[in-house]
A and B are shown apart, each in its own frame.
Chain A
Amino acid sequence: QSALTQPASVSGSPGQSITISCTGTGSDVGNSNHVSWYQQHPGKAPKLIIYDVSNRPLGVSNRFSGSKSGNTASLTISGLQAEDEADFFCTSYTSTDTPLVFGIGTKVTVL
């Protein structure tokens, strides 16, 4: 099972909005509502920020939002802040022998 495709890096200035894409296939993102997003700071464990495409766990800022169209899921970070600088991964349930697949990760840089 191939990893989901994400841009290697995305950058923005403080206060701006950025969007990270996560492209899969009809066997995963395109056919599943179990799409999630995680934020990972260097040397730390990942933190869940979006689950089931667009749901935010308690305590996660509403500056993070998720959506999906066809085989591509997206994470939007609005009002970019310095603390948002991190790696972001998407995941999706798949109907293949590997039921959970991860994106390759996107490094977000706050200029």
Chain B
Amino acid sequence: QVQLVQSGAEVKKPGASVKVSCKASGYTFTGFYMHWVRQAPGQGLEWMGWINPRSGGTKYDPKFQGRVTMTRDTSTVYMELSSLRSDDTAVYYCMRDGAKYSTGWYGDFWGQGTLVTVSS
């Protein structure tokens, strides 16, 4: 069965960087794009970008351009966010795109979420 398992909670100081991992299993890793989405406390969801695990190609939301980097290795995708601010405090989710080899712009499987807290 498809599983996305994310790394554990992080506490960072303003200006630092954080790298969150999402290990995929139960399907052909290179067949499906992976998105990253975040949710600030008590707020709605916000799209950050996607990575194509087959090619390594990425697309980022302009809001995060220059601060976010998405990478992958054999079965894991990573999201690194730099120059952290207090308003980056949020739960970060990886979300598998449901369309094979393309972007269907919906997430059929989600990681359990990783809480990143930015505080001095």
Contacts and interface: CB of A to CB of B under 8 A. Distances in A.
Interface of A: 3, 34, 36, 38, 45-48, 51-52, 57, 89, 91-93, 97-105
B45 A52 contact: no
Interface of B: 35, 37, 44-47, 59, 61-63, 93, 98, 104-108, 110-113
Contact of B44 (A45, A47, A52, A105): A105
A101 B46 CA distance: 7
A102 B63 CA distance: 15
A93 B63 CA distance: 17
Contact of A48 (B47, B98, B111, B113): B98
B105 A102 contact: no
A68 B106 CA distance: 16
